[in-house]
Structure 1
């Protein structure tokens, strides 16, 4: 007899449909206690029907779990004699530790749900075993993303090959397939599958109404598009705003409002096309965007040093914390001091002050010492930076939540993302059409990340119960950051302790290795045992929303095994049902230009 392990179900559908049709015609005789209908839940929607294995996948699609053929046997005559179907999340779940520094996520959850049947000598199918309980959640909306349900049709494959020969970018080919299918929800594959297929094919291969249309489009989008509003309602804590990206041949700056979602991905919260970059224009844009967002100003915003932009923020968002992009400031050092005989020393001194100063006084004293050392008292640019040090120096801003950001890189990455859709010769009407395509792609990327965090888990790096606590609730991308803190904990040591009346203070030393050199820096951590409150002088938790290694060392030292809820942020959790994920993505495109 032939024994085939994990053969794709589709192969069975093509070759053994007639045999499997009889697979379900055995319910009442083979089960007891009213279990007949439940048994058929795995195979079909309605009991007592003779349906082939296709119904298994149809039902799995409706309920939201993946199915695979675990094993099967055929007789010498080629007739299928035995078949076992299982949930694809069947299999041993990896332990909490792994020898790999970057272990791959796994869908295996040890699920026992299965159904097994065999063909008897009379040619009748009999159910041998049924286990109906799942040990994981199910989700019909995510079912199409499971690997076992993804496939490239012959039509899509042909289109990909022809377009690749014509040097059409793959993302455009995929977007065409999405449009042709009537939306992402009707696709039987994801963009990664297309990439993989094209790569395999390559290996085998040898060798005017713009203004009216846009005004109509934006008016309609302001009124109808609720998803961005709901995303903003969930992630309104930090927004980056940047206007350095010129989108089209009219040189109109594209100004995106960008946030960060629960996976750490950039998410678009709105945008504008500006003909001017003065205070009046920015005030108009901010007020219009604020009106779209139900009048709720962001808690914090990151921009460059543009004075007009700063004035507008003070007018429209007076209570919003505003910081300047650190990268934009530091990149100007070469421009401002390229002529100076001590430019290298000045660069090094400024970088050290910016990144190593833990206290405001420490920065201020170091800055004055640098100014005096290199006789920079008359440098107006440095004087302006010092006067506004509360807008860009990390030690002045670290107690505010910035989602771990100190630059407008999110806006720039959004610009880079749009590079695949627009170019310098793009017309305005074409721009908004491509903008929709890019936005839809962003939504799909978030859905795929949701799916991974829903269906997969990565092993912990240690045996600490605290790490397991984060793994159970955080999205995969955020847990990876937590995991790095637990693995990096070995470079941190408590070197002194001071007992107070209500709290204990710990001096934690960090050893930093780089370029064969060793550098040490200290942080002070206070711990209140009664309520398990922990605060570190680095304030990394306040800045990025994930506990720092200094605090993990102290918590471990105090035998803390369960992290208080206040240190597990809702915005990073994978088990939160967020309103924007339940909004159908519906884009009607540009309206026809009125006659």
Structure 2
């Protein structure tokens, strides 16, 4: 222990601007490793012990430390079509040292050239080699866990104590691993005062409360094209519905753009809430918003967001089918046709044809629920909405997942004051997880499963999660087959698996090779921002292995 302390004190004497050089000596190999690890943290790469060699007397004589991205990429996935992200890039940066007769460890070989981008210290501190739990942190985690305090609050208490995520040397996963280990072995207000006055004037006289933070506004500027809004999942001590504005970020994760606590769900309250939120977002309305079928919400959206495309949550609608149509003798057949009209119609004409066939065939002309849905078909039927960008969202489940995230911080007994404090803590934790995911994307690389240039092209631009979406489309090409063509118009057949059976569906692809124009009747690119397997099939058939820049390669993801 004393020796380790001496090593640390010796390390602190090294000047910050020093770079590793051949000939530099250290008292121990541990001291040398700590020095190289600190250098890697400052420069933005992770460090690992690469090799060691002992002589015939069992004395350690040679060691080498390498960049953590050295070595070859080897996928651990048993499915070659679904490889897992891998950190290895074959980087050759390393430090080699030997133990001399003078009792010193001296650097004898050195390569500081990397074949991958380096990170900032803010992100490199999250590498596993740079993370550690202090004795104090371990003790506090153990005490709180014995008191049955949830991990999220347990971890957050350490973050608050340290003064923020940037001041802790570990992440929540490290705390979870430690607690799980300690549980196996067992067999079986501090700085928060600074938040007590946070937004004290936001509680209105009519018992309505709303606020947003700079992080919300920054996130909205970057990812606020599409917003989901729902009030059905979480309430606080005063039965005030929690109303989050939620979107999706470049990792495909739910992200918060602000929230409200409201006492009523009428037109006046929703109008006030939307106007207040809009003013916080610099009066920049979203392109699209997804909600349930609440009439008051619909009227308020028309008042406040007149130019925003309003979509109804498809899940909320389809889950009502048993309730609304279950009394019919031919319910099962009606349900099947209705689902076909919704999911299989690639054009509005096809939807109209299938819908009217259903109404006539099963004598449903008098059903008020179906008549109302048909009159509002532009708000929920996919073929009427697919030409707009929806960030792959057609339901309000993003709001549901955000409510699930907040369950670890607020509940039905939470007061307004506690809500403010816990909201801030939850938001900081959410932001920290995004930083961790950014670090993962910067330091890991997903192997390509094909030799097509477009796959590597997308991998170098997209985040891991978005690249996986494209990879799924590229792999899905194997289920597609060219049928025929006329000029720039192509027909592609896809074998689509539905539960335990398959059906063949045909898609129309327009491909103008000279102008780089590609459009498919499935409109997946317009809806999700990812080029579809049908368009990829025709591109490859036409020797177009590189995607035009317009197909998501700018800065969208």
Q: TM-score, normalised by structure 1?
A: 0.84
Indicate whether 1:235 and 2:223 are aligned: yes
Aligned pairs, how many?
538
| Structure 2 residue aligned with 1:200 | 181
| Structure 2 residue aligned with 1:584 | none
Q: 2:123 aligns with which of 129, 142, 145?
A: 142
Shift of 1:305: 0.8
| Structure 1 residue aligned with 2:191 | none
| Structure 2 residue aligned with 1:4 | none
| Structure 2 residue aligned with 1:590 | none
Check conservation: 2:227, 2:290, Cα contact below 8 A.
Answer: yes
Check conservation: 2:24, 2:107, Cα contact below 8 A.
Answer: no
Check conservation: 1:65, 1:143, Cα contact below 8 A.
Answer: yes
Q: 1:356 aligns with which of 333, 336, 344?
A: 344
Q: 2:268 aligns with which of 280, 284, 305?
A: 280
Aligned with 2:507: secondary structure? strand
Check conservation: 2:52, 2:63, Cα contact below 8 A.
Answer: yes
* Structure-1 separation of matches of 2:105 and 2:450: 48
Check conservation: 1:42, 1:115, Cα contact below 8 A.
Answer: no
Q: 1:518 aligns with which of 493, 502, 514?
A: 502
Where does structure 1 lack aligned partners over 5 or more consecutive residues? Answer: 1-10, 26-35, 45-50, 574-595
Q: 2:201 aligns with which of 216, 221, 246?
A: 216
How big is each residue's C-alpha offset from its partner over 1:254-306, in whole Å with a ceiling of 9 and x where there is no partner? 11111111001111001111111111111111111111111111011111111
Check conservation: 1:24, 1:40, Cα contact below 8 A.
Answer: no
Q: 1:431 aligns with which of 402, 405, 419?
A: 419
Q: 1:158 aligns with which of 131, 139, 154?
A: 139
Shift of 1:495: 1.0
* Structure-2 separation of matches of 1:218 and 1:60: 48
Q: How do 1:251-400 residues align onto structure 2 when only pairs under 5 Å count?
A: 251-400=239-388
* Structure-2 separation of matches of 1:274 and 1:182: 32
Shift of 1:505: 1.2
* Structure-1 separation of matches of 2:49 and 2:447: 26
Shift of 1:213: 7.0
Where does structure 2 lack aligned partners over 5 or more consecutive residues? Answer: 26-30, 189-194
| Structure 1 residue aligned with 2:28 | none
How big is each residue's C-alpha offset from its partner over 1:64-92, in whole Å with a ceiling of 9 and x where there is no partner? 22122222345677765323222222222
Aligned with 1:216: secondary structure? coil
- Cα distance change of structure 1 residues 222 and 56 upon mapping to structure 2, 3 Å threshold: farther
Check conservation: 1:222, 1:292, Cα contact below 8 A.
Answer: no
- Cα distance change of structure 1 residues 436 and 223 upon mapping to structure 2, 3 Å threshold: closer
* Structure-1 separation of matches of 2:474 and 2:66: 36
* Structure-2 separation of matches of 1:388 and 1:13: 75
Shift of 1:216: 2.5
Aligned with 1:257: secondary structure? strand
Aligned with 2:125: secondary structure? helix
* Structure-2 separation of matches of 1:483 and 1:388: 35
| Structure 1 residue aligned with 2:437 | 449
RMSD: 3.1
| Structure 2 residue aligned with 1:129 | 109
Q: 1:92 aligns with which of 66, 72, 91?
A: 72
* Structure-2 separation of matches of 1:276 and 1:397: 30
How big is each residue's C-alpha offset from its partner over 1:151-191, in whole Å with a ceiling of 9 and x where there is no partner? 22222223333333332211121111211222111222211
| Structure 1 residue aligned with 2:453 | 465
- Cα distance change of structure 1 residues 470 and 18 upon mapping to structure 2, 3 Å threshold: closer
| Structure 2 residue aligned with 1:566 | 550
Check conservation: 1:92, 1:109, Cα contact below 8 A.
Answer: yes
- Cα distance change of structure 1 residues 137 and 211 upon mapping to structure 2, 3 Å threshold: closer
Q: How do 1:35-46 residues align onto structure 2 when only pairs under 5 Å count?
A: 38-40=19-21
